[in-house]
Amino acid sequence: MKKAKAYREPTFINSKDARPLRILAEYLEPKSRFDHFGIEDTIVFFGSARFKEGNRWYDAARQLAARLTTWSKALDTNKQRFVVCTGGGPGIMEAANRGASEAGGLSVGLPISLPHEEGANSHISNELVFRFHYFFMRKFWFAYLAKAIIVFPGGFGTLDEMFEALTLVQTKKMSKPLPIVLFGNEYWNEVINFDALVKHGTINAADAELMYRTDSVDEAYEWLVPLLTKYALDNPGAKL
């Protein structure tokens, strides 16, 4: 019996020996699509999958994503700049993708396969849903194209994503400027005591200032846009 070519053989492709190929595919396939659609960079929204429409943080994420998309679409460029990007699920992710869509822009979703996954939300641009198996490859694509990160209240996944971004900035493993917004002062002040980390000497005082904290869509927008203009518009394509 004639066997399939190795790269078409499911038993091999799904085996431990072919893991490097699967990892490489989660780098090359997204890169191919990002290049095809001219996506230069992103603004990443992190936050809980559990919030519904009508929740104050859901509504704020939707509004902020819409405003940033409206601003980016008005830029004089032939590239897709500052495209809203999320983990692709419900809650804050849905809100941000929804806001971008309502503003007439593209938006990216990077869902991960989980035992009880709900699938990608319906507001992501159809061509820009990227489904991942490996968390670390998904995290790579969050960080690699990001020119800003906005972190809304969330659980373990959000905290993991936030601290990875902060670590990359703190250790200067990320050469590009990366503005980080923590949205929701009451939540973040209760959940993470950054001042205690400084007090106990586990971070420097300057590290506690690596993010901008606010409860206001207006404040977040007015803080981010000048920084994106200053650091990103004159340096297109700057990556990690």
Q: In whole angstroms, give the CA distance from residue 181 to residue 212.
A: 5
Residue 107, Cβ density class (10 Å: 0-12 exposed, 13-18 middle, ≥19 buried): buried
Number of residues in the chain? 240
User: Of 111, 115, 162, 158, which is closest to residue 137 (Cα–Cα)?
Assistant: 111
Reported as a pLDDT band with limits 50, 70 and 90, residue 7 is confident
User: For residue 73, how many other CB atoms are within 10 A of its CB?
Assistant: 17
Distance between CA atoms of residues 10 and 8, nearest Å: 6
C-alpha to C-alpha distance for 176 and 165, rounded to whole angstroms? 12
Helix, strand and coil content of the chain, in percent to the nearest 5, comes to 50, 10, 40
Q: How far apart are CA 157 and CA 229, in angstroms?
A: 30
Residues 176-211 have pLDDT tens digits of 999 999 999 999 999 999 999 999 999 999 999 999
pLDDT tens per residue, range 47-97: 999 999 999 999 999 999 999 999 999 998 888 999 999 999 999 999 999
What does the pLDDT look like over 112-145, one tens digit per residue? Answer: 988 766 679 999 999 999 999 999 999 999 999 9
All structural domains of the chain: 38-231 (3.40.50.450)
